[in-house]
Structures are given as structure tokens and as C-alpha cells.
Structure 1
């Protein structure tokens, strides 16, 4: 296989539900495709066929899921996602943009579900072979505002309650404070175009 002439770039978007991640993922993908780069847009959970089935269990299943079971299911989805989608695309020199990654597990499961953060992180790093994004864009917003933006029926995570959402937001912000070299925190209340402009310019700086 030929060595790619341009290096791959791995980017993740994080934030509470309704923060506007999907819109910004689409804007960033358009930015790079217009510049001739291969862009792979994906998500967690559900970035593979296996992941789609896991997503259905996690977000829409009727049966209650124990916290440790939930963490293991997310890790299984992530392991398959990285092996089947993310690493091959990076090896080709593509820009990979994922809507949620490891930090969602840390925020939702160790912050929202009150599991041990170290255990959740170690599990996810083992599942992915230690792969972390070059940049994580955290769209920060009060959950009381973001949940009001949702136009679909709430899934199991979205319907977990206001206190759960507040803990999750706080956990995201703590993660960003601990890894300022990887995270860029953006105020999700700002105009969509302004947020996209900042993200596109920052990602261009990463490519060099």
C-alpha cells in the first residue's frame, strides 16, 4: 500500500445532547471536502453495522442496563468503530470527524452514571489501542437550553433527567480543563456560522 502524501487527522465533537454537534460536524466536513480532502464522518455509538445494533440496545432498548454493562457496550462499539472505520481512514490520510468518542463515555458514564472515571477511561483506551483525537471540540451549553432544542423523541440518555444532564456537562468541562492541549471549548449559544468559522480555522491550523 502506498504511503499517503497527506497525514490523517482525527477530530471529535462532544457536548450534551442538543448542543449542535451534528450541525458543526457537517460544516467542518463541507469545509475540508471543498479543499479536496477525503473526509470520513462517523459517530458513536453506531459507526459500524455492529455499532448500530449496540446503539439500538443502549439508547432505545426497553430493558434496564446496569452501569458496568453500559460501559462495556460502549467500549465494544468503540473498539469496532476504531478497527473498522477510524484507523483505516487515518492510514489513508483522511480527515475523520466523529460525533462523540471516548470523552462521552467519561462524561456520561463516570460523570452522569457515577462510575469510576479511571476505570471508564482505561477500558476505552484499551478498546481503541490508545487512540485519541488530535482535537476535541466541546460545544458547551446549559442543558436546560440544549434539551429544549431537540426535535425528536428523547432517547434513554436524553430522558435521564436534569440533574444527570448537569453532572454530564460538568464532567465534560472537567475533562477539557485536564487536557487543554486537545480540547477547544466553544460557547454553543454563539451563532452557528461563527462557531463553524472558529472550528474550521483551528482545524486548518492543525493540518498546517
Structure 2
């Protein structure tokens, strides 16, 4: 069986990932491409339970525990959802993946450098591929994204962090894009929804 394509969306808070993913899924459906839409942390029943803990403002854990819970959720997500879908020839459209772990837990929390986090990822993921075929980094000024995020809902455990935390997260995404420009495509997230959707579709069409 031919493998499907693995597409991930990344960005700091409020960049418009949900809207962008909606747009891409609509275009895939119009093209007759089967896809599975999922997210991290979460995606599988067990990983969704861990997501509730990770996002709950009442959860009090240290940075090491947070990182390990992220990897535990991803390991189950890969085994239960991502790999079966890809093996069936379906596309996987994922809201966040390993690049968020590097940006949030690596750069944001100051846990460690990207190389170390990727080594941990490889150990946990084992024989399954860790990286998407293409990652769409929705690039928006941090302050603008936080302003958008503040209007939509009550802040979760991550969204409650200070601005300097998200500045470091942004630096994490930027550093990864510069290191892997072929896989991680920078998408200007400013402008009308249709404009951003066109930029995403152009990037996906050219690469996949």
C-alpha cells in the first residue's frame, strides 16, 4: 500500500491554525483526497486524556513531567491514529506536532536544545517516522496573535504564559524553519482568510 502524506500546522497562539486547517481540508475534499484530521496534544482517546491534564490551569507539574507527558501522548497518537491512516494511503492533517514540542518545551520552557529533544523523540517513536512531509508554520507577530487568542476563549495553561515565553517560542519556530526550510514552509498569516488559504495551498501543491 502506498503511504499517504503527513501535513502539520504550527505557530504561536492565535495565528489562525484552525481556520487554515479548515481551508486545506475543504480543498482536499474537493480534490477527492481522503484525509484524517487530528491534533496534538491529543488525537487518540488516551492522548486526549493527557491533553486535558496538560491544558488544565489547575495542573501543577514541573517542566520534565510536561515534556514526558507530551511524548507519551504523541507515542499513542502515532500508533493509534497517524500511522494507520498513512498506511491506508490517507493524508494526515495535524494541528501541531514535534516542532511545537521543540518550540514550547525546548525554547519556551528552556528545557534543552532541539537536538536533545529530537533524540528523545526518536527513542519514544521508535520505528515510526517522526517528521511530517510538510510543516506549515503560520507566521504572525506574537503580540497580534496573543490579542486574537484573548478574544476567543478562556486562556488555557499554555496561553496564560507571559509574552516573553511566546517570544522564545517564536524564536524556536523560526530557528527550526531556518534549519529545515524544505520541510517547514513559512506562511505569512497576515491578511484575509482566503489569501492565507491560497498561500497554504500553493505550498502544499508545489511540495506534495
Deviation of 1:21 after TM superposition, in Å, equals 0.7
Contact 2:98 2:130 in 1 (8 A): no
| Residue 105 (structure 1) aligned with residue 98 (structure 2) | no
If the length of structure 2 is used for normalisation, what is the TM-score?
0.93
Taking the aligned partners of 1:181 and 1:46, their CA distance within structure 2 comes to: 27
Contact 2:57 2:156 in 1 (8 A): no
- Aligned counterpart, 1:190: 191
- Aligned counterpart, 1:64: 60
- Aligned counterpart, 2:174: 173
Deviation of 1:137 after TM superposition, in Å, equals 0.4
Structure 1 residues 70-89: aligned runs within 5 Å: 70-89=66-85
Taking the aligned partners of 1:26 and 1:84, their CA distance within structure 2 comes to: 23
- Look up the SS of the partner of 2:158 in the other structure: coil
Between the two proteins, the alignment pairs up a number of residues equal to: 203
Deviation of 1:195 after TM superposition, in Å, equals 1.4
Contact 2:190 2:196 in 1 (8 A): no
- Aligned counterpart, 1:205: 206
- Aligned counterpart, 1:142: 141
If the length of structure 1 is used for normalisation, what is the TM-score?
0.93
- Aligned counterpart, 1:133: 132
RMSD: 1.2
Deviation of 1:74 after TM superposition, in Å, equals 0.2
Contact 1:78 1:124 in 2 (8 A): no
Taking the aligned partners of 1:167 and 1:131, their CA distance within structure 2 comes to: 23
Deviation of 1:125 after TM superposition, in Å, equals 2.6
- Look up the SS of the partner of 1:65 in the other structure: coil
- Segments of structure 1 that go 5 or more residues without pairing to the other structure are none
- Segments of structure 2 that go 5 or more residues without pairing to the other structure are none
Taking the aligned partners of 1:60 and 1:145, their CA distance within structure 2 comes to: 24
Q: How far does the alpha carbon of each residue in 1:78-97 deviate from its partner, in whole angstroms, 9 at most, with x for none?
A: 11111111111111111110
Contact 2:121 2:130 in 1 (8 A): no
Taking the aligned partners of 1:131 and 1:115, their CA distance within structure 2 comes to: 20
- Aligned counterpart, 2:91: 95
